[in-house]
Amino acid sequence: MIENQLSTAGLIRRMVSFMYEILLLTALLLIAEGVFQGVFQIVSGLSVTQLSDYPWLGALNFVWLLVVTLLYFGWCWMRGGQTLAMKTWRTRLLMQDGSSLTRKAVLIRFTVASVCYGSLLPVYLLARKQAEYQPLLWVSLALFVLPLLWALFDRDKQFIHDRLAQTRMVFFPKEVLSKHAKPESD
């Protein structure tokens, strides 16, 4: 199996892919938020500005965006182990043994990555306006850099979410991709 012979994707490649992923995810979440707001207005007859009057709607909105994010990553990782950013940077997610990701691995990887990466922007926005959130901002920043620090000291240079999910991100050189993608001849 060719996947077992592939090398681990380098940290710089993974970080650049991560930054590209943020751009793609932002676009996806803006569309999902538009859908949520549109449905909210149609169903309730209230304006978008009245959303803050109902705290449970804010929680529902958060859950909606989290589910959309999980569906995006889960679908991409289960169907070939790649998101669009990973395809661009020729990386792929595999289980440690080289097989395709399992649902359990997807959930573990997504959950740990969400804990590490998901809180920084909202907490930053709160801490800018309200000083009592400053300590929480430092915790969020520490969680955000934890995967990178983990990878620097991990024996296989894996992020913490990959280590816990028993996955690895591999690099597919162009030569491997061209051989791998060629159709079988009759």
Domain boundary assignment for the chain: 2-174
For residues 142 and 130, what is the distance between their CA atoms, to the nearest angstrom? 19
Among 16, 18, 5, which Cα is nearest to 94's? 5
Detail the DSSP E strand segments found in 60-145. 91-95
Predicted local distance difference test score (pLDDT) of residue 182: 45
Q: DSSP state, 81?
A: S
| Nearest Cα to Cα of residue 13 among 183, 115, 145, 151 | 151
| Token pair 């676009």: residue | 27
Q: Half-sphere exposure of 141 toward its Cβ, with a 13 Å CA cutoff?
A: 9
CB 51 within 8 A of CB 61: yes
The letter for the amino acid at 3 is E
- What pLDDT was estimated at residue 176? 62
Distance set, CA 100 to CA 136, 151, 172, 176 (Å): 37, 22, 15, 17
148: which 2 tokens?
Answer: 């990178």
Total-model pTM:
0.83
159 phi, psi to nearest 5 deg: -70, 160
Residues in contact with 185: Cβ distance below 8 Å, sequence separation at least 6, in sequence order: none
Low-confidence ranges of the chain (pLDDT < 50): 1, 182-186
From CA 37, how far away is CA 155, in angstroms rounded? 46
> Cα(65)–Cα(77) distance, rounded to whole angstroms?
18
Phi, psi values for residue 93, rounded to 5° = -95, 130
Question: What pLDDT is stored for residue 116 in this prediction?
Answer: 93
User: What is residue 181's predicted lDDT score, i.e. its pLDDT?
Assistant: 52
Compute how many other C-beta atoms are within 10 angstroms of the C-beta atom of residue 119. 17
